[in-house]
Structure 1
Amino acid sequence: MYIVGITGGIGSGKNAVTDHLQKLGITVVDADVVAREVVAKDEPALDKIAEHFGSHIITDNGELNRTALRKIIFSDKSAKTWLEQLLHPIIRESIKQQLHNATSSYAVLSSPLLLETDQHELVDTIIVVDASEELQLTRTVKRDSSSEDQIKAIMAAQLPRQDRLNKADIVIDNNADLDSLKKQIVKLHTELSRLAEATK
C-alpha cells in the first residue's frame, strides 16, 4: 500500500485537504483520532495512566479527564515524557494496523506530529499543507475561539514552518481561497494515484 503523510501547522488547512481526499474515496488515518481512541474508556492505556497519575485523572463516567492530564503534563516535563513513552508506540501500532487495512488506491496518514515523531518513517511521500503564519493565526482564532496568545504558544511549540517545508516532498499552498485549494487537491489526487500505481 502506498502511504502518503500529510502534515501542516495549526490553521494551515490540513483537515480541509484530508476531508476532500476522503470524499474522493481515499482512506485517511488521522493520528489525532487514533490518539483519542487508544485512551478511550476501558482501553489498557487508560488504566496505566490512572495507575501512574492517580484515579482523579478519570472522570465519573470512566473517561480520561483531559483537562486534569493537560495541567500535569504542561507543568511537569518528566510526566510528559512518561506519557509519550507509553502512548507513542501504542498509537504507532494502531496507525500501522489501520493503514494496512486500507482498501483505497493509496492511503493517507494525517498527523500534526508527522515530522516531530517517527511517524514519517511509515510514509512514502511527505506532503506539507502550508499557509503564512498570519493566516494560520487568523484562521485558528476564528475556528477555535482561542486567544491569539494561546495560538501563538501552540505555533511556537510546533516545528518551525521553514523546517516543515524543507522536509516536504510536495507542498500544498493554502494561502488563497477554498477553490484554489480544491484545484490543487484534485491535481494532487491524480499525481498520488499515478505514483501508487507505479509502485505496485
Structure 2
Amino acid sequence: MSQFHSKGARTIVGVIGGIASGKSLVTQLLQKRGATVVNADSVAHEVLDDPKVIDEICAVFGGDVLRTHTVGNGVPPQIDRKKIAALVFGETEIHQGRRESLEAIVQPRIRERLQFLIQDWKAKNTCGILALDIPLLFERKWDQVCDEIWFVDTPRAHRETYAAARGWTAEQLKAREAAQLGIEEKKSRSTCLIINNGSLDDLERQVDAAFHRARFGKRAANGEGRGDVAGRA
C-alpha cells in the first residue's frame, strides 16, 4: 500500500478544465500519489464497445459509423469515434439533435458504471482520495458527489497545441467546447485552481500541495502528518 495511504480524510475530487487542458495528466499525478482515478472517457469507451450499444447506435446513425476494417472481415464491429464526433459535435440544431440521440443511448449506461465505481471505492476505503475525470462534471451533476473540484487552468494557445497533437483542428476544438459549460463558469464553481502553463515540475508541485491539503487538511499546510512524503513530487 502506498505510504500516502496513512491517515487522513476520504475525499472525492472532481478534476475539470477546458478541453485538452491536461486534466488526464493531473489525474495521473494524483494516481502517482496514491489516489484512485475514475476516468469517464475510459468508461465511455467500454460502453461503446458493448455489442448492444453498437447495434442501437447503428440503428440510429447507420452502419457508416463503424470502423471500416471491422465491416465484413470477421472482426467484431467497432464504432468509429471520429465519425460519431463529426456527427454530434457542432453548434447547429442538427448537431444538437444527433448528440441528444447518442446520449440517450450511452449516458444511462455510463452513469450506471460510474455510480458503481464510486460506490465500490467508498465501500472499500475509509480514507484516501478518489479523483473523477469527468468532462461534463457540472452538466451531469457529478459535482454533487464531490468534496472538492479542481480546475486545470491552461492558456488557450497551449490547449490548441495539445488538441492538435490529438489530431483535432482549432474548429473541432471549438465545436467540442460548444457542447460544454463555459470555461469561466467552470472556473468560478471550482474550489481549487491548478495553473498549467509552466513546466511539469511546477505542475507537480501544485498537485502535490493540493493533494496533501485535500488528504490531510490543515496539517499539510505546515508539513504535519506527511512523514517523509514532504517535499516530494
Report the TM-score, using the length of structure 2 for normalisation: 0.73
After TM superposition, the structure 1 stretch with the greater mean CA deviation from structure 2, 87-96 or 144-153, is: 144-153
Counterparts of 2:161 and 2:26 in 1: how far apart (Å)? 18
1:163 CA displacement = 0.9
Name the residue aligned to 2:158: 135
Counterparts of 2:45 and 2:137 in 1: how far apart (Å)? 16
1:157 CA displacement = 4.3
Q: Is the 8 A contact 2:11 2:215 kept in 1?
A: no
Q: Which amino acid aligns with 1:28?
A: V
Name the residue aligned to 1:119: 142
Alignment of structure 1 residues 188-199 onto 2, 5 Å: 188-194=210-216
CA displacement 1:142-178 (0-9 Å, x = unmatched): x224333433443454432211111101111112211
Q: Which amino acid aligns with 2:106?
A: L
Counterparts of 1:190 and 1:27 in 2: how far apart (Å)? 15
Counterparts of 1:146 and 1:179 in 2: how far apart (Å)? 27
Alignment of structure 1 residues 1-200 onto 2, 5 Å: 2-42=11-51, 44-58=52-66, 59-60=70-71, 61=75, 62-74=77-89, 75-102=94-121, 103=124, 105-141=128-164, 143-194=165-216
Counterparts of 1:184 and 1:12 in 2: how far apart (Å)? 15
1:98 CA displacement = 1.3
Computed over aligned residues only, the root mean square deviation of the Cα atoms, in angstroms, reads 2.3
Note closer, same or farther for the CA distance 1:176–1:123 as it changes in structure 2 (3 Å cut): same
Q: Which amino acid aligns with 2:62?
A: G
> Can you give the 5+ residue segments of structure 1 that lack an aligned partner in the other structure?
196-200
Report the TM-score, using the length of structure 1 for normalisation: 0.83
Aligned length: 193
Note closer, same or farther for the CA distance 1:162–1:144 as it changes in structure 2 (3 Å cut): same
- SS of 1:114's partner is coil
Q: Which amino acid aligns with 1:134?
A: A
Q: Which amino acid aligns with 1:94?
A: R
Counterparts of 2:45 and 2:31 in 1: how far apart (Å)? 20
1:126 CA displacement = 1.2
Q: Which amino acid aligns with 2:139?
A: E
Note closer, same or farther for the CA distance 1:133–1:67 as it changes in structure 2 (3 Å cut): closer
| Structure possessing the higher radius of gyration over alpha carbons | 2
Q: Is the 8 A contact 1:41 1:64 kept in 2?
A: no
